[in-house]
Amino acid sequence: MILEPFQYFSPLSLDEAFEILTEHHGEAKIIAGGQSLIPLMKMGVEMPCIVDIKKIHELKTIELSNDGSGKVSSVRVGALATYNEIERSVPVRRNIPLLAKTASGIGHPLVRNRGTIGGSLSHCDPAADLCATALALDAQICITGPGMKTRVLSARDFFKGPLETDLHNDEILTSVFFPVSNMKMGYDVQKLTLGHGDFPVFIVSVSLHYDGVKFTNAAIALGGVGETAVRASECESLMRGKESITGEDIREVSRLITDRYDPPVSAELSPDYTREMLSVYTGKALRNAVQMVTG
């Protein structure tokens, strides 16, 4: 039950939204899917002014976007695209299947029907599924402010800390660009949860590119092991440029990851188990990703 009254606005355009955000500067809070905000309000966090952006239709689009030469260079996912829409989107499935796979595993159907990519990234929970995958996929985040001033940031620069991003409170995250590669892709996402549909304790998101001879890119993003989702760069460099990634390589990377990163403590699992699982799930994700490439 939400005990405190609040003002509610439902702008139809970005212009209108910025007007409201400016007028209620500091007080106004954007709501998208409400899957994080409403639970917070129910827990008693006061939100005196809510700006519901769901009626701003231009924020819903998912489309391919071209570079200057007309070649598809990225997929632009509107901030309001829900997990369910992302999971079903043909451009996403075809070009950035890791994003579709990640979206399909978030929470359960009720959450996936409402939760949005913009909300998840703006909320910036260190263990959120999409934060890890956005990092693994080198996503570019597009932010618009009053006067339609727009800036683009890499996911890495966007995430600042637990529940903290580079967004100012009169800005809106409008879309997320995911670069498309024409190379062979191997990917997987694995997470430890306390129960099905629960927020991850930690999450491992892996993306590999293979040009037929060697792995040109290897990205491992981890969620839940630090202040924000992080890239395990020191492990990535062990794989990048290799012609093959062996079981021994995978074991080494998994070991390295448990040495370097601290999974969080949860009430129900011992630290030892959680730590061991970080290496087990990293191993699973890497094995599956490598197998997709070398099959």
Ligand X SMILES: Cc1cc2nc3c(=O)[nH]c(=O)nc-3n(C[C@H](O)[C@H](O)[C@H](O)COP(=O)(O)OP(=O)(O)OC[C@H]3O[C@@H](n4cnc5c(N)ncnc54)[C@H](O)[C@@H]3O)c2cc1C
Which of 227, 79, 189, 226 is closest to 139 using CA atoms? 79
Burial level of 148, CB count in 10 A (0-12/13-18/19+)?
Answer: exposed
With CB under 6 A as the rule, give the number of residues binding ligand X: 31
123 binds ligand X (CB under 6 A): yes
Residue keyed to tokens 């879309």: 175
d(C-alpha 209, C-alpha 217), whole Å: 5
d(C-alpha 209, C-alpha 239), whole Å: 11
What string marks each residue from 91 to 130 as x (binds other proteins by CB under 8 A) or -?
-----------------x----------------------
Nearest residue (CB) to ligand X, 30 versus 192 = 30
- Distance set, CA 201 to CA 77, 89, 113, 195, 257 (Å): 26, 27, 22, 10, 15
Q: In what order do the strands lie in the sheet with 49-52?
A: 7-9, 49-52, 28-31
Nearest residue (CB) to other proteins, 54 versus 284 = 284
Beta carbon of residue 269, minimum distance to ligand X (angstroms, whole number): 16
Give me the residue whose beta carbon is nearest to ligand X: 119
Question: Looking at 73-81, 96-104, 188-196, 231-239, which segment touches other proteins (CB under 8 A)?
Answer: 188-196
Burial level of 159, CB count in 10 A (0-12/13-18/19+)?
Answer: buried
Which of 54, 70, 68, 176 is closest to 122 using CA atoms? 176
122 binds ligand X (CB under 6 A): yes
Nearest residue (CB) to other proteins, 146 versus 264 = 264
What string marks each residue from 21 to 40 as x (binds ligand X by CB under 6 A) or -?
--------xxxxxxxxx-x-
d(C-alpha 104, C-alpha 98), whole Å: 10
Query: Which segments of 69-112 are extended strands (E)?
Result: 72-78
190 binds ligand X (CB under 6 A): no
Q: Cβ distance 187 to 289 under 8 Å? A: yes
Q: Considering CB distances under 5 to 8 angstroms, the limit depending on partner class, which of ligand X, other proteins, none binds residue 271?
A: none
Q: Considering CB distances under 5 to 8 angstroms, the limit depending on partner class, which of ligand X, other proteins, none binds residue 267?
A: other proteins
Burial level of 88, CB count in 10 A (0-12/13-18/19+)?
Answer: middle
Residue keyed to tokens 């996912």: 77
Interface with other proteins in residues 259-278 (CB under 8 A): 267-270, 273, 276-277
Interface with ligand X in residues 147-176 (CB under 6 A): 167, 172-173
Interface with other proteins in residues 192-221 (CB under 8 A): 194-198
Among 11, 91, 118, 263, binds ligand X (CB under 6 A): 118
With CB under 8 A as the rule, give the number of residues binding other proteins: 19
Question: Footprint of ligand X on this chain (CB under 6 A)?
Answer: 29-37, 39, 53, 79, 106-107, 111, 114-116, 118-120, 122-123, 128-130, 167, 172-173, 199-200
Question: Footprint of other proteins on this chain (CB under 8 A)?
Answer: 1, 3, 108, 194-198, 267-270, 273, 276-277, 280-281, 283-284
